[in-house]
Amino acid sequence: MTIRLDPNLENPDAFYARLVIANENASGEQSLEFFIRLSMILANQIGDASVLQACIDEAAQGGNAEQQETQHG
């Protein structure tokens, strides 16, 4: 399963700003809980188990595949 790693957000700066605002007064634990809830909501929107597994695998690698290919290729 290939997942999209190229930028695909309409307005990434606005999205990032919303994440910052949503967490600006949160403790570390509250922030973690927020991101877990957000991850579950987004996973529900995706819905495809194979896409979700590919995303989990990519996130677990700690970097994106394009960077790793550059380092190893």
pLDDT digits (tens, 9 = 90+) for 14-49: 999 999 999 999 999 999 999 999 999 999 999 999
Query: In whole angstroms, what is the distance from residue 17 CA to residue 12 CA?
Result: 9
The reported pLDDT for the residue numbered 68 is 47
The reported pLDDT for the residue numbered 1 is 81
Phi/psi at 10 (5° precision): -60, -45
pLDDT digits (tens, 9 = 90+) for 49-58: 999 999 999 9
Using the CB atoms, write b or e for 14-37: b if 16+ within 10 Å.
eeeeeeeeeeeeeeeeeeeeeeee
Opening angle at CA 24, ends 22 and 29, nearest 5: 85
Report whether 9 contacts 15 (CB < 8 A).
Answer: yes
